[in-house]
Amino acid sequence: MTVAPPSPAEAARAQAIAWIGQAPKRLLIGGQWVDAVSGKTFETLNPATEQLLCRVAEAEQADVDAAVAAARKAFEAPSWSAMSPHSRTRALLRIADKVEAHIPELAAIESLDNGMPLWYATAAATACADIFRYYAGWCSKVLGTTIPSDGSTLIYTLREPLGVCGQIIPWNVPVLMASIKFANALCCGNTVVLKPAELACLTSIRLAELIQETDLPPGVINVLPGFGPTAGAALAQHLGVDKIAFTGSTAVGKQVVRDATSNLKKVTLELGGKAPNVVFADADLDKAIATAVKTFCGNSGQVCSAGTRLFVQESIHDEVAERVASEAATWKAGDPFAADTKLGPLISARQRDRVWSYIGAGQESGAALRLGGKAWNGPGYFVEPTVFDNVKNGMKIAQEEIFGPVLSIIPFKDEDDAVLQGNETTYGLSAAVWTRDVSRAHKVVKALKAGRLWINTFGEADPAMAFGGYKQSGWGREFGAESIEAYTQAKSVMVRL
């Protein structure tokens, strides 16, 4: 009897489980994998099954101290910050090749640890290789300038790395977040202490293992799984850290800023969002509706730039609401490794309960429930797509970031009304406009207060396209030329001739 070979998904899952089943995951400090000084560990669970995956070393203050010291040593040694930019380019390209060779494994680990469907995790892992290659191209292009003078002096600037960068990432797309933070900092000559979220830290650990296999000098990257109030706060407050880059909620971002005042370290923040996705009556509705569903359901809505406020022109509101609900109903929730699964679980029971509280708030406020509102029958932290229509923009579900697959459909009259309501939020991370009228499209995106916008699409990304927020969606930018400034500082020099 012939036994069929395992499918690529099955093989990747088996490889991921084998890696997860190895010895407890440890901290990376100074090129060595070590236990936490305290000996503490914590559990990480599979959110689709609620079963234990493994135990992970729990970093605290002493571990942060050791990692910062290792990062400082690596930065000041000629092995990294003084390395030729062409050598750093080659190092980042080696990392990109290593990541690319392990995309199926990284995606499977991400699906097990975070719960996202394998197709989504594969796309995220694939993007990581592109990110390292993009930043590899920047190493030799961190340029200074010459400044015109009266001829008796030469004035020029140098752009130099900041030093030791503390980086704190969330649990929603960990492998992508870690890659962005690593690649951006390293290309500029910095060293890194990364604290991944305790709820989903396994791909950050595996990514660091792969990077170490490329012979990166010890201490250039350090990885400290742990909890925000201990490891995260210690990193943000540390006097030996020159910069903190944080991605997460606005509330925690504000605390990071307070902690960073310890030595006035540089801070960049990529925080929450409540993106307006504006659909005019002349839009290509087939594309607009399919994309609207994808953006609020993708990764179970656990995306800071998700288009969770769908503004629809009054004349097409009822049609669009009905079609969006019908399309969202086809997003099957279930096993992240099943080929027909589109929606995985939320990250934790706490997050599931939080999302349910918002669904209840929407019903209590009088919004019309078009889809969803039924509890999941079975294990896992699942919430199925939920669509409210005839939502008023001032309602809680339209103003607060839910971070789940919950959509508010809000009618609007005209361009001015769309802009007025779209901007009526404390956030300003992303936005989109759907229309065939070119003039209208450009006028509306110019008027919307957000850091990344799309016309007749939503959510597409390119490492060359800067990402960051207005208002309480953050400080600074990731990706693009702007991100190089976020990881360097300028020095001005005058020479008397």
The residues annotated as belonging to the active site are 270
* DSSP code of residue 370: E
Q: Please state at what angle helix 103-114 crosses helix 174-187, rounded to 10 degrees.
A: 130
> Helix, strand or coil for residue 249?
coil
Three-state secondary structure string covering 257-295: HHHHCCCCCEEEEECCCCCEEEECCCCCHHHHHHHHHHH
- Residue identified by tokens 């399309």 is 327
* DSSP code of residue 300: G
Per-residue tokens: 471: 């208002």
Output b/e per residue, 142-160; b: 16+ Cβ within 10 A. beeeeeeeeeeeeeeeebb
Three-state secondary structure string covering 172-231: CCHHHHHHHHHHHHHHCCCEEEEECCCCCCHHHHHHHHHHHCCCCCCCCEEECCECHHHH
* CB of 52 closer than 8 Å to CB of 43: yes
* DSSP code of residue 5: P
Beta-strand runs (E) in 332-397 = 368-371, 386-389
d(CA 472, CA 219): 34
CB neighbour list of residue 438: distance below 8 Å, 6 or more residues apart: none
Output the furthest CA–CA distance in the chain (Å, rounded): 88
* CB of 204 closer than 8 Å to CB of 225: yes
Q: Please state at what angle helix 103-114 crosses helix 202-212, rounded to 10 degrees.
A: 160
H helices present in 21-156, as ranges: 61-76, 85-101, 103-114, 118-136
Q: Please state at what angle helix 85-101 crosses helix 103-114, rounded to 10 degrees.
A: 70
Per-residue tokens: 30: 């100074």
CA distances from 380 to 65, 377, 405, 425 (A): 37, 9, 15, 32
* CB of 25 closer than 8 Å to CB of 57: yes
Per-residue tokens: 317: 């509101």
